[in-house]
Structure 1
Amino acid sequence: MKRIFHTVLVVSVFLAGGCIRPEKQVEEVPVARQDSGRIVVEVGELPFQEKPLSETDIVLTRELLYDKYTLADEYPYRDTVRRVKWEIVRKSLAFIENMQDTRTAWTVFQNYKNRNGEAPLVHAYKRDVFRRIADTLGVERYQSVPLYLPSDTVTPVRYGRDGSLSELMAQTGSFYKVRPVSIEGEWLVPVRYVRLLPDSVRFHHVIFVDRKDQHIVTLEWKERGSWLIRSVNPATTGLHRPPYGQETPLGLYLIQEKKERMVFLKDGSSATGGYAPYASRFTNGAYIHGVPVNVPRTAMIEYSYTLGTTPRSHMCVRNATSHARFIYEWAPVAQSLVVVIE
């Protein structure tokens, strides 16, 4: 089953065309009964199987938990109109629910700041505008994990982003065989780059970041096909500005850690530049956080007029500080997803 979550177009085509699981056949399941003091297992049939969800099955209800700076479904911006892309949200939520329909062991790629070792060179690579090594699809080697074809465990073919979610298929020696949500096919990844998630994990908190229209939406699962809108707010995503500023990468990621104050450095320096409050990291050095506080200031800043305008961050997603705190307290680590669209 294909699992592609790269861009809005790919997401839309994939979700509409091939990502929803086909209708399942009625399957036989073991049924236990008592017979002369013995437990006898017979084969019975489930009375029905639920069909996979589609975009039209997803019901969204506004029940805000955070109600400051709330955006309307459509709102003016300069000489145009921006809007919340609810059709993409519904398709994505249907995908997220369907992918959890079967019992799956979930994993997340992890290599923040190359903590698990620099990934080996792929077969074909290039240097991007930041002068960093990247695969032919533009995924940088730094902070990424190597992906090997099952037929070749010597040289990887491409890189997988830190924070990317995948299904665990099997373990083969020092490799896990995985099926990434955001990358097509099955791949081998060295064990040290993969974190296994608990069997009980369910993804009931989802955060959508729109890097085109510069806003952020949080939703919480209520019941099958039903989600509650918890906030709709202006945000500011990453700006492509070499050699330091990078876009917030498109895709689906897992919130991996939180920092009440994420300290950052001045560009091109080892000196502290300040801190970002209530930071939730989802891929590489990308955090959802509040308004940055630059040295020598120490007090938090609630809001900035730049929120909801144009990209200007360093890969991160800036929010009003109180909204960043809401996400920080509301979205559990290793159980919440971030979907970046445009």
Structure 2
Amino acid sequence: MMTRTVFILLISSLCTLSYCTPRTEPAQTEVLTPVDSISKDSAVIMETLPPHIEIEKELLYDKHTLEDTYPYKDTTREFQWEKMKERLSLLESIQKEPSQWAILQNYKNRNGEAPLVKVFKRDAYKRVSDTLGVERYQSVPLYLLTDTVTPEIYGRDGSLVRIKAMDEDSKFARIQTVYDGKEEWYAPKKYIKQIGDTVVFDKAIFVDRHNQNIATLEHVGSKWLVRSMNPATTGQHRPPYAQETPLGMYVLQEKKSRMIYLVDGSKETGGFAPYANRFTNGAYIHGVPVNAPRKSLIEYSPSLGTTPRSHMCVRNATSHAQFVYDWAPVNKTIVFVLE
């Protein structure tokens, strides 16, 4: 049965190396210490946002559904609707301006290892990151407009950007970020996947690291309709094999009906994760993992909605992962990871 509840936000001046490590297999793609940066830059980002965001519940998936607030051990967890509305406002706002959209891509360094940035950090496992904590592996080098010799920072795989200029005679494109401030950079063309100027981002997935839940929303008319509200678990800090699901805004990039994963530190098959939807690096939204030698699917795990426990991925009930797999198109769905 559909549940219908209306939430309205009137925004005035604004109140304010190892991931899920899949083997190479055919993927379904469309032909053609992190800071939650939207909070940090909200005063700038929100200047041009729509005056209100209306959210209404109209579920398409109604299994394992959570309430707006719900008990967890000796505390209460929630769906952070206000933070979601901020991000939906941003998503609506950036689409008001005609844009040539693109995705930063370097999954498994397929487009080449990014050069070292000017100032970097190296951890105990010899992994290099920039000053913002973005790891070199699987990332895209971003250069100042005044210096195309050495990159300044790394851009995360899966990040949505605008193309501001693309000179055929240059190996660089001038791009603009849309989530962590509207900064312009040069990025080598080989790391950029163009998705055109007609794409409409009307589906959004919200992954909440703090509350360990996930919500899917769809823009219909003037409203954002909630399609599902479910428990999830995100990535845990357990180097070198596991790390947190990175905060940010990403484009859903590919899907695999079964994502094969390996045993930590080896090339041995550990099992598979069903209905896997990749959005950044090796981070997938997927169903309950099935450890080898088992072959049959597992619908639910009591650990869902508790504490971070994956390598970077977002675990879901398997039927919810299948819902996301069927409902969310690649290159047209936005994934927000918030705290």
Q: TM-score range by the shorter chain?
A: 0.7 to 0.9
1:270 to 267, 272, 280: 267
1:120 to 115, 119, 124: 115
1:131 to 126, 138, 148: 126
SS at match of 2:243: coil
SS at match of 1:97: helix
Letter in 2 for 1:113: K
1:188 to 186, 189, 195: 186
Q: 1:12 — aligned with what? A: 39
Q: 1:233 to 1:130 in 2, by over 3 A?
A: farther
Q: 1:129 to 1:218 in 2, by over 3 A?
A: farther
User: What CA distance in whole angstroms lies between the structure 1 residues aligned with 2:284 and 2:123?
Assistant: 22
1:250 to 238, 247, 252: 247
Query: What percent of counterpart residues are identical?
Result: 57
User: What CA distance in whole angstroms lies between the structure 1 residues aligned with 2:58 and 2:98?
Assistant: 30
Q: 1:30 — aligned with what? A: none
Q: 2:157 — aligned with what? A: 162
User: What CA distance in whole angstroms lies between the structure 2 residues aligned with 1:315 and 1:129?
Assistant: 19
User: What CA distance in whole angstroms lies between the structure 2 residues aligned with 1:204 and 1:228?
Assistant: 10
- 1:49-91: per-residue Cα shift (whole Å, max 9, x none)? xxx404xx11111100000010000000000000111001111
2:204 to 203, 206, 209: 206
Letter in 1 for 2:166: Q
SS at match of 1:58: strand
SS at match of 1:98: helix
SS at match of 2:201: coil
1:68 to 38, 63, 72: 63
Letter in 1 for 2:295: T
Letter in 2 for 1:14: D
8 Å Cα contact 2:38-2:179 kept in structure 1: no
User: What CA distance in whole angstroms lies between the structure 1 residues aligned with 2:272 and 2:302?
Assistant: 19
1:109 to 92, 104, 107: 104
8 Å Cα contact 2:38-2:180 kept in structure 1: no
TM-superposed deviation, 1:18: 1.8
- 1:152-195: per-residue Cα shift (whole Å, max 9, x none)? 11111111000001111002411110011234311000000000
SS at match of 2:190: helix
Letter in 2 for 1:219: L
Q: 2:216 — aligned with what? A: 218
Q: 1:302 — aligned with what? A: 299
TM-superposed deviation, 1:258: 0.2
Matches within 5 A, 1:20-39: 20-22=46-48
Letter in 2 for 1:12: S
User: What CA distance in whole angstroms lies between the structure 1 residues aligned with 2:213 and 2:277?
Assistant: 16
8 Å Cα contact 2:41-2:180 kept in structure 1: no
Unpaired runs of at least 5, structure 1: 1-5, 23-51
Letter in 2 for 1:220: E
Unpaired runs of at least 5, structure 2: 1-33
Q: 1:65 to 1:296 in 2, by over 3 A?
A: same
1:234 to 222, 227, 231: 231
Q: Between Structure 1 and Structure 2, how many residues are aligned?
A: 303
TM-score scaled by length of structure 1: 0.86
Q: 1:179 — aligned with what? A: 176
TM-superposed deviation, 1:12: 3.4
TM-superposed deviation, 1:223: 1.9
Q: 1:41 — aligned with what? A: none
TM-score scaled by length of structure 2: 0.87
SS at match of 1:20: helix
User: What CA distance in whole angstroms lies between the structure 2 residues aligned with 1:82 and 1:333?
Assistant: 30
User: What CA distance in whole angstroms lies between the structure 2 residues aligned with 1:322 and 1:221?
Assistant: 23
User: What CA distance in whole angstroms lies between the structure 2 residues aligned with 1:129 and 1:143?
Assistant: 19
Higher relative contact order (CA 8 A, sep 6+): 2
- 1:179-221: per-residue Cα shift (whole Å, max 9, x none)? 1123431100000000001221010110000001100000000
TM-superposed deviation, 1:7: 4.1
TM-superposed deviation, 1:129: 4.5
SS at match of 1:61: strand
TM-superposed deviation, 1:131: 2.5
Letter in 1 for 2:263: K
Q: 1:327 — aligned with what? A: 324
Q: 1:129 to 1:233 in 2, by over 3 A?
A: farther
